[in-house]
Structure 1
Amino acid sequence: MCGITGIFAFNEIGRFNLPNLSRATEALDHRGPDHQNIYVDEFVGLGHRRLSIIDLSNAANQPMSAENGRYQLIFNGEIYNYLELKKELTAFGINFDTESDTEVLLQLLIHEGKAALNKLNGFFAFAFYDLQKGEMLVARDRFGIKPLYYYEDEDRFLFASEMKSILRYGIAPQIDHNALYTYLQLNYLPAPKSMIKGVEKLMPGELLIVKKKQVEKETYYKLSDTFTDPFNGNYDDAKAVLREKLEAAVQKRLVADVPLGSFLSGGVDSSIIATLAKKHHHDLHTYSIGYSDNPFFDETEYAEAVAKKIGSKHKVFRLSINDLQNYLPEMLSHFSEPFADSSALPVYALSKLTREEVTVSLSGDGADELFGGYNKHAALYKLWNQGAKEKLVSSFGSLWKTLPQSRNNPVGNLFRQLHKFSEASQLEVDEQYWLLASLQSAQSVTNLLSDNVLDAIDYEAFDSWKQDSLSSMNTKSINSALQTDQSLVLQGDMLPKVDLMSMAHALEVRVPFLDHEVVAFANSLPDNFKVNGKMKKRILQDAFREELPSKIYNRPKHGFEVPLLGWMQKELKADIQHKWLADDYIESQDIFDVAGVKKLKLKLFSNNPGDSHAHVWALICFQEWYSNYIES
């Protein structure tokens, strides 16, 4: 696990950027505190920051070279099947100087080129350079677990693990207004979008071949292919296969030459991962986080029940509002671009505190998108299978709209969900998904943006992107929703959140649910194995029911939410009013509409705030990013 960056100059003008390589590499120091080095030749520069996980010796440092410097590799990630691949390569007479997975990847790329990608089990972003051919191969893992930004113009090709590194090459950052329009609707920016014009994210399962003045893009893995080979066994057969594949995925991810632990929130997903890990890692440490000021959001009792059952050495970190406020500035500074999933804050805190004891942690991320764990999945099922109760809810749309709505208490949250369900019942299938997956509507976003920004948005391009993103939503199928989740929410929200917040503290987080064999199996299962009228993540819950405490079942799902509303109405109120959303500052930026933002603030501080706190949070995250990356 590391940070990578590089440049491929197309001409003499592009070469002027080579001296910026060291600064671009230093911008990633938090991702790799153990070693920094660069490689530079006439037209190519590669930079690497290392977090040592496997083979801690200096021999495994990067950039790693072979055959008298002909080949160079910089690599961020882990290859879990590297020992099997090493055995294959050794059988062909290849000798190894290290015990690292990096050297295995280097030799595999030398001998098999881009075909090597299909053999890898792991998560990665890397650049492989062949000096003799003057060619660079850049690739990202199948699901986008590891990030990769890139920029191309007529003079140079640039890439990096984070936006802040790309900007060290001297790009003048300009806001992409279509990206801003997308961000305010979704809370995040899915690949290939970024908030800076000209900078893109490489899509999961894609590779780039860079040579001379050309950058060619190819797809080596298609998520959609995993939905085309249905599982033929019965439900009990599927549970057995799931247990086997998931345990194997966990076991592969326990390989490390540094201390390893596991996040344990008390939800089903992380509880399963911790339970399986404890079978093969007897000295397992588990970590959870709770809120000392707000019991509604605290789930630590469930995590403690799991830890007690499996016998892990468990530690609970309890955060107060003061703690959150102290973490906020440093957390926001680690966003390469605006990112408004508020659960990033507890992930940041959990990662910081966990890193004091371990260097690697397992996580339960990915299960919701594979097996249908979100409230929207249950809502979609009910929308498509309406009984008398659902029809009644749909018909009372005007009533739900008038009732107080809030994510911060059970009653307000129920009214919020009923209102959204009623709205969705009036829409086509793809728009139902978009409504349930969005933070706010296009009209609501329009009310927040200045006339100059609205005039600059290419609505036709946005609609085309949206249509492509929702192309799987052409049937009333849970699997269609899950495919869309995996290509949109997972790679745009959940994975960047964990990567950015954990790597801010040089903590490697591994996600067994996203082993590509587990993903392929999950996506082969029929809808009713995952979601029905009574249960979400049905097969996942049932497959491990005997191994988990009964109290973690059938309880409200909070996710990793933060008590934002109370925090904003008290401790953050002054900064909202006089800093982030001050009228004169909003007017000077000419990005947001002054009247629209005023109206939003009035709602936030009213007796019926609805989801206004979530909308304000999106603006706060943007304003902090704007201050760090545009104004400065």
Structure 2
Amino acid sequence: MCGITGVFAFNEIGRFNLPNISLATETLEHRGPDFQKVFVGDFVALGHRRLSIIDLNPQANQPMSAENGRYQLVFNGEIYNYKSLKQDLTSKGVQFETESDTEVLLQLLIHEGKDALNKLNGFFAFAFYHQQKEEMLVARDRYGIKPLYYFEDEDRFIFASELKAILKFGINRNLDTNSLYTYLQLNYLPAPMTMVKAVKKLMPGQYAVIKKKSVEINSYYELKATFDNPFQGTYKDAKFQLQGLMEKAVERRLVADVPLGTFLSGGVDSSIISTLASKKVDGLHTFSIGYKDHSFFDETEYANAVAQHIGSKHQVFSLSLEDLYSYLPKMLKSFSEPFADSSALPVYALSQLTKENVTVALSGDGADELFAGYNKHAALYRLWHPGAKENLVSALGPLWNLLPKSRNNPLGNLTRQLKKFADASKLDIQSQYWVLASLQSARQTTDLLSNTVLEDVDFEAFDLWKDNLLSTLNSKSINQSLQLDQEMVLQGDMLAKVDLMSMQNALEVRVPFLDHDVVAFANSLPENFKVNNKRKKMILQDTFRDILPEKIYNRPKHGFEVPLLDWLRTDLKTEINDKWLSKELIDSQDVFDWEGIKSLKKKLFSSNPEDSHAHIWGLIVFQEWWEGYMEQA
């Protein structure tokens, strides 16, 4: 697990960028505090920051070279099947100098080139340079667990683990208004979008070949194909296979030469991972976070029950709102691109506190997108299979409009969900998905943007992107909605959050549910194994029911949320009014419309805030990013 960056110069002008490699690499220190090294050739420079996980020997440092520098590799991630790959290469006469997965990847790429990609079980982003051919291969893992940004023009190709490293090469920092328009609706940016024009994210399952003056991007993995081979067995057969696949996926992710533990929230997903890991690791360390002064969001009761059940060495980090607030400044400064999923804050706190004990943690991320675990999936199922209750909720739409709505208490949250369901019931299936997957409507978004930005937004291009994305959903199919989740929500929101927050604290987080064997199997299952009008994530819950405490099955699902509304109305009220959303700043930026901002702030402090706190949070994150990366341009 590390941070990588590099530049491939197409000409002499591009070569002027090579000396910037050290400064760009230094910006990634938090991703790899153990070691920094750069390689500078005639037309290529590569930089690496190392977080030592497997083979702590200095010989495993990167950039790693072979055959007197003919080949160079910078690599971020882990290859879990590296030992079997190494055996195959050894049988063919390849000799190794280290015990690292990096050297295995290097030798595999030397011998098989891009064909090696389909053999890798792990998560990764890497750049492999063949000096003799003057060619570089850049790739990202199947699901986008590890990030990879890139920039290209007529002079150079630049890549990095984070946007901030690319900015050190002196590129123009022009705001991408289409990305801003998307961000305000979703509160994150799915690949390939970034907030800076000309910088893109490599899509999950893609690779790029860079040589001379060309950049050719292709896919080596297609997510859609995993849905095209339907499972033919019984529900009992499926449970048996799922358990075996998950046991193997967890076991693969326990390989490390540093201390290791698991996140344990008390939800089904992290409880499964922790329970399976405890069968392989004596005295497993588990970690969770709780809220001292907000019981609606506190889930430590369930985490403690699981920890006691499996006999783990459990630590609960119990935080007050004041404690949580103390993490905010550093977390906001850590974003080199706006990311406004507010649950990033507790993940940041959990990662920092966990890092004091271990260097690697396993998490339960990915299960909801594979097995239909969100309220959104239950809502879609009911929209597409309505009964008397669903028809009544839709008919009472005017009533829900009148009642107070909020995420921060049970009644307000229920009313909010009922209103969203009633609104969605009037739409076509693709619009239903978009409404349930987004936080803000197009109309609400345009109300917030200045005329200058609105004139620059290419609405036709946005609609084309959105239509192409939603074209996956051409029938009332939960599995098609899950494919959309995996393509958009999983890689753009959930995985980005975990990577950003954990790596800011030099903690490696591994996600067993995204073992590609598990993903292929989950996506092959019929949707009635996953969800019906009463239950979500059915097969996952049933498969592991015998080894988990019954208590965790009889509880509401909150997700990893924070009591954001209370916080914005108290601790951050002054900064909202005087700093982030002051009239002076809004007018000087010419990015947002003051009347729209003023109306949103009024909503936040009203008796019926609805989702205004999420919209405000997205603006706060953007303003912090703007101050750090655009005002200095």
Q: Give the TM-score normalised by structure 2.
A: 0.99
Q: What is the Cα deviation at residue 325 of structure 1?
A: 1.3
Distance of 1:612 and 1:457 partners within structure 2: 23
Quick one: distance in 2 between partners of 1:565 and 1:90?
A: 58
The one-letter amino acid paired with 1:537 is K
Aligned match of 2:138 = 138
Question: Where do 1:58-73 residues align within 5 Å?
Answer: 58-73=58-73
Say whether 1:127 aligns with 2:127. Answer: yes
Post-superposition offset of 1:398: 1.1
Q: Secondary structure at the match of 2:226?
A: helix
User: In structure 1, what residue type is equivalent to 2:111?
Assistant: H
Counterpart of 1:73, as a letter, is: L
Larger displacement relative to structure 2 (600-609 or 505-514): 600-609
Runs of 4+ with deviation above 3 angstroms: none
- The amino acid of 1:608's aligned partner reads N
1:444 aligned partner: 444
- TM-fit CA distance, 1:577: 0.7
Using the TM superposition, give the Cα deviation of residue 302 of structure 1 relative to its aligned residue in structure 2, in angstroms. 0.3
Shift of residue 283, structure 1, vs aligned partner: 2.2
CA offsets per residue over residues 236-268 of structure 1, 9 Å max, x none?
110010000001000000000000000000000
Q: Distance in 2 between matches of 1:76 and 1:607?
A: 47
Determine helix, strand or coil for the equivalent of 2:65.
Answer: strand
Once the two structures are superposed, what CA deviation does each residue of 1:314-339 show, in whole Å capped at 9, x if it has no partner? 00001111111111010011112111
How far off is 1:172 after superposition? 2.3
Task: Summarize the alignment of residues 316-327 of structure 1 with structure 2, pairs less than 5 Å apart.
Answer: 316-327=316-327
Structure 2: tracts of 5 or more residues without a match: none
- AA aligned to 2:249 is A
Look up the SS of the partner of 2:33 in the other structure: coil
Distance in structure 2 (CA, Å) of the matches to 1:547 and 1:627: 50
Q: Which residue of 2 aligns with 1:354?
A: 354
Is residue 496 from structure 1 mapped to residue 489 from structure 2 by the alignment?
no
Deviation at 1:554, TM superposition (A): 3.1
Deviation (angstroms), 1:433: 0.1
**Alpha-carbon separation, structure 2, partners of 1:609 and 1:464:** 32
| Of 606-615 and 114-123, the range deviating more from structure 2 | 606-615
Please report the RMSD computed on the Cα atoms of aligned residues, expressed in angstroms: 0.5
Counterparts of 1:153 and 1:293, CA distance in 2: 52
**Counterpart position of 2:520:** 520
Match of 2:630, SS? Answer: helix
> How far apart are the structure 2 equivalents of 1:336 and 1:311?
40
Match of 2:100 in 1: 100
Structure 2: how far apart are the matches of 1:260 and 1:336?
A: 28
CA distance in 1, matches of 2:130, 2:610: 56
Give the Cα–Cα distance (whole angstroms) in 2 for the partners of residues 404 and 71 of structure 1. Answer: 62
Q: Deviations over 1:39-90 (max 9, x none)?
A: 0111000000000000000010000000111000000000000000000000
- 1:252 is aligned to 252
One-letter code aligned to 2:137:
L
**2:88 alignment counterpart:** 88
Contact 2:513 2:519 in 1 (8 A): yes
Q: Deviations over 1:292-324 (max 9, x none)?
A: 110100000100000000000000001111111
Identity across the alignment (%): 71
Q: How do 1:235-384 residues align onto structure 2 when only pairs under 5 Å count? A: 235-384=235-384
In structure 2, what is the Cα distance between the partners aligned to 1:246 and 1:597? 47
SS in 2 for 1:74: strand
Query: Is residue 407–residue 413 contact of structure 2 (8 Å, CA) maintained in 1?
Result: yes
Match of 1:454 in 2: 454
The aligned runs of 1:122-271 (5 Å cut-off) are 122-271=122-271
| SS of aligned partner of 1:188 | coil
Distance 1:263 1:159 in 2: 31
Cα-to-partner distance string for 1:454-488 (whole Å, 9 max, x where unaligned): 11100000001001111211110110110000000
C-alpha distance in structure 1 between counterparts of 2:328 and 2:353, whole Å: 15
| 1:581 alignment partner AA | L
Asked whether the 8 Å contact 2:31–2:503 carries over to 1, the reply is yes
Structure-2 separation of matches of 1:211 and 1:328: 43
User: What is the number of equivalent residue pairs in this alignment?
Assistant: 632
Output the amino acid matched with 2:156. Answer: R
Deviation larger for 324-333 or 159-168: 324-333
Distance 1:421 1:624 in 2: 33
Q: How far apart, in 2, do the equivalents of 1:471 and 1:367 lie?
A: 23
Aligned to 1:617: 617
- Counterpart residue number, 1:117: 117
Q: Which amino acid aligns with 2:158?
A: L
Structure 2 partner of 1:420: 420
Provide the secondary structure at the position in 2 that maps to 1:197. Answer: coil
State the SS of the aligned residue for 2:500.
helix
Bigger Cα displacement from structure 2, 215-224 vs 326-335: 326-335
SS of 2:361's equivalent? strand
AA of the residue aligned to 1:244: G
Partner of 1:19: 19
Distance 1:433 1:235 in 2: 27
Give 1:608 deviation, angstroms.
1.1
Q: In 1, distance between residues paired with 2:610 and 2:144?
A: 33
**Rounded Cα–Cα distance in structure 1 between residues aligned with 2:421 and 2:228:** 30
CA distance in 2 between partners of 1:31 and 1:333 (Å): 15
- Secondary structure, aligned partner of 2:296: helix
| Amino acid in structure 1 at the alignment position of 2:487 | S
SS at the partner of 1:46? strand
CA contact (8 A) 2:283 2:311 kept: no
Equivalent-residue separation in structure 2 for 1:390 and 1:30 (angstroms):
49
Q: Which digits, 9 at most, give the CA deviation of each residue in 1:78-136, with x for residues without a partner?
A: 00000000000000011100000000000000000000000000000000000000000
Matches within 5 A, 1:579-598: 579-598=579-598
